Amino acid sequence: MSLTSGYRQQGFVPLDAPGDFERLALIDLDALEYNVTRIRSLIGGRELVAVVKADAYGHGAVDVARSALAAGADALGVVHVREAATLRDAGIKAPMIAWLHTPRTDFELALRLNLQLGVSSLWELEKIAAAAQTATPSQPVLLHLKVDTGLGRNGVMLADLEKLAARARAYEVQGLVKVRGLFTHLAVADEPQRPETASQSAEFDRALMIAENAGLTPQVLHLANTPATFTAADLQQEDALLRDSVRVGLGLYGLSPLPGVSPQELGLRPVMHLQTFISSVKEVPAGQGVSYGLHYVTDQPTTLALVPLGYADGVPRVATGGPVRIYPAGAEPRTYREVGRIAMDQMVIDLGAPGLSDPALGYLGAPAVLFGAGQNPPVTDWAQAAGTINYEIVTRISPRVPRVSVGGSWRNDTTER
C-alpha cells in the first residue's frame, strides 16, 4: 500500500508502505490547505499572512508555504531575514514580511530578497534606510512599524513612537521607505475572557493616531494571531481585532491555541502526524525496572514494546506518560501511556499482559503514532505530559525525523510517495 493512501485510509503509515522511513513526521498538506480555507472563511476579504517562521512550526517551511499560498494566503510571515531567504531560494516569490532583527541582520540581503520588514526601533530604521541608500532598490522598502501595546517584548513603546514615525516619514519623503503597515502582537488572546486584549486594541488606535500625525499613512493594520482570529467573532470584536490583515501560525497547522478547545471544535484538521514502528517486543517478569532511574517497575509478568523515538527526535524527556497509539497487524489498535524515562533514542510501552510477543499478533513492526489526526492522540496530550503547549511540541521535533509531506494542490506531478 502506498504511504499516502495507507495514511488516508487507516490513519497511519503501514509497515509495507514504500520508502525507508523508520520514523517520520508526515505533513498532510491537504489538511493544511483545508485549514487555510477555514481561516479565510473567518476573515472574509482581509489579508491573510501565513506565519511560517521556525520552519513552519517544525512542519517544513517550503512545502507549507506553497500550500498556504495555493490555498489562498496572501503573504508569508517569518521572523528572521534568513528564514525568508530559505523561502526565496526555493523560488517562492510571494510577499513576505520578517520582523525580528539584530544589529547583525543583513538588511541589504533583505532588500535584494524584496522583503517587507517589521520595524520596532530606531536603530533598525536607520540600518534599513542606509541599506536602501546603498542598494537603491527600484521601489521604496515596505515597512510595518511594530508597536508595543502591552506585550512588553519587541515593538516600539507608544512614548517613543512619535520620534520613530517622524524619522520614517523623513525617509519616506526621500523615497527610501514606505510605511505600509502598523502592527502589534497580543499577549492574552488565548484567554478570551481577559480584558487586556481590548486594551491593546485601544492602545493600537492611539498608536495609529501618532503615526498619522507624523504624516504616515499605513494602509494595513494588523493585530490578530490564531487565538484572536478564532475568538474575534465571539467577543464581538471582529473589526477591532481582525482589522485589515491577520497573522496566523498555529491554526494553519490544525492546532488549537485555546485551552480545552479541540482543533475539531475550531473546524481545523491537524497537519503533523508523528510515527515510527515498534522495534522490539519482549516478555518480562514482574519486578522488571524500565529505563534510566528504574522509575517504572512492572507489577506483573508483562510484554514491553519499544518505541524508537526519544528526546534526540524532539520528544521531551520530561513527558513520561505521553500517549502512543499502536496498530498491531493481529490485534486491535489501542492507545497506551509511555512508561519510564524517555531516553535519547527510545521509550517503552507496557502492553499490559504477558504473551503479546507472539509474532501472530504483529506487535513487532506495528505502526506507533505519538500524535496525529482522527483516532490518534492529539499533540495537546504530549504538551500536557511535558508541561508545555502544542506550539512547542511540533516546533521542536528535531531534524533527525524526516518530514514527509503528502498532498498539496500545488504539486504538478501526481505520483504518490
Ligand X SMILES: *Cc1c(COP(=O)(O)O)cnc(C)c1O
Half-sphere exposure of 109 (CA within 13 A, CB side): 14
Residue 242 CA: distances (Å) to CA of 40, 145, 192 = 12, 17, 14
Q: What's the CA gap between 328 and 334, in Å, rounded?
A: 9
Binding residue (CB under 6 A) for ligand X from 225, 245, 256, 288: 225
What sign has the CA pseudo-torsion 410, 412, 413, 414? Answer: positive
How many CB atoms lie under 10 A from the CB of residue 358? Answer: 14
Binding residue (CB under 6 A) for ligand X from 35, 67, 120, 226: 226
Residue nearest to ligand X (CB): 249
344 is in an annotated binding site: yes
Q: What's the CA gap between 361 and 358, in Å, rounded?
A: 6
Coarse DSSP helix, strand, coil percentages of the chain, rounded to the nearest 5 percent? 35, 20, 45
Q: What's the CA gap between 27 and 405, in Å, rounded?
A: 4
Closest approach, Cβ 129 to ligand X, in A, equals: 23
Comparing CB distances to ligand X, the nearer of 148 and 172 is: 148
End-to-end CA gap in the chain: 11
Comparing CB distances to ligand X, the nearer of 148 and 338 is: 148
Give residue for cell 505530559. 385
Closest approach, Cβ 99 to ligand X, in A, equals: 6
Comparing CB distances to ligand X, the nearer of 221 and 248 is: 248
Residue 154 CA: distances (Å) to CA of 118, 212, 364, 365 = 10, 21, 50, 48
Of the candidate spans 124-132, 169-177, 249-257, 376-384, the one that interacts with ligand X by CB under 6 A turns out to be 249-257
Work out whether 101 is an interface residue with ligand X (CB under 6 A): no
Q: What's the CA gap between 362 and 329, in Å, rounded?
A: 5
Binding residue (CB under 6 A) for ligand X from 249, 322, 340, 377: 249
Work out whether 257 is an interface residue with ligand X (CB under 6 A): yes
Q: How many residues bind ligand X (CB under 6 A)?
A: 11
Of the candidate spans 85-93, 241-249, 259-267, 322-330, the one that interacts with ligand X by CB under 6 A turns out to be 241-249
Comparing CB distances to ligand X, the nearer of 268 and 347 is: 268
Closest CA to 36 of 415, 380, 410: 410
Binding residue (CB under 6 A) for ligand X from 52, 69, 248, 370: 248
Closest approach, Cβ 167 to ligand X, in A, equals: 22
Binding residue (CB under 6 A) for ligand X from 59, 247, 273, 403: 247
Please list the alpha-helical segments (H only) found in 279-388. 379-386
Comparing CB distances to ligand X, the nearer of 53 and 180 is: 53
Comparing CB distances to ligand X, the nearer of 208 and 255 is: 255
- Per the structure block, which three cell numbers stand in for 87? 523561502
Closest CA to 37 of 2, 11, 72, 69: 72
Binding residue (CB under 6 A) for ligand X from 156, 207, 250, 278: 250
Closest approach, Cβ 252 to ligand X, in A, equals: 8
Work out whether 51 is an interface residue with ligand X (CB under 6 A): yes
∠ CA 75-131-167 to the nearest 5 degrees?
85
Work out whether 182 is an interface residue with ligand X (CB under 6 A): no
Catalytic positions, please? 53, 292
Give residue for cell 506550539. 391
Which contiguous run of DSSP H or E holds residue 195? none
Work out whether 185 is an interface residue with ligand X (CB under 6 A): yes
Of the candidate spans 37-45, 248-256, 354-362, 397-405, the one that interacts with ligand X by CB under 6 A turns out to be 248-256
Closest approach, Cβ 165 to ligand X, in A, equals: 19
153 is in an annotated binding site: yes
Which contiguous run of DSSP H or E holds residue 110? helix 107-112
Question: Under the rule (CB under 6 A), what is the footprint of ligand X?
Answer: 51, 53, 99, 185, 225-226, 247-250, 257
Binding site, annotated residues = 153, 344
Binding site, annotated residues for substrate = 153, 344
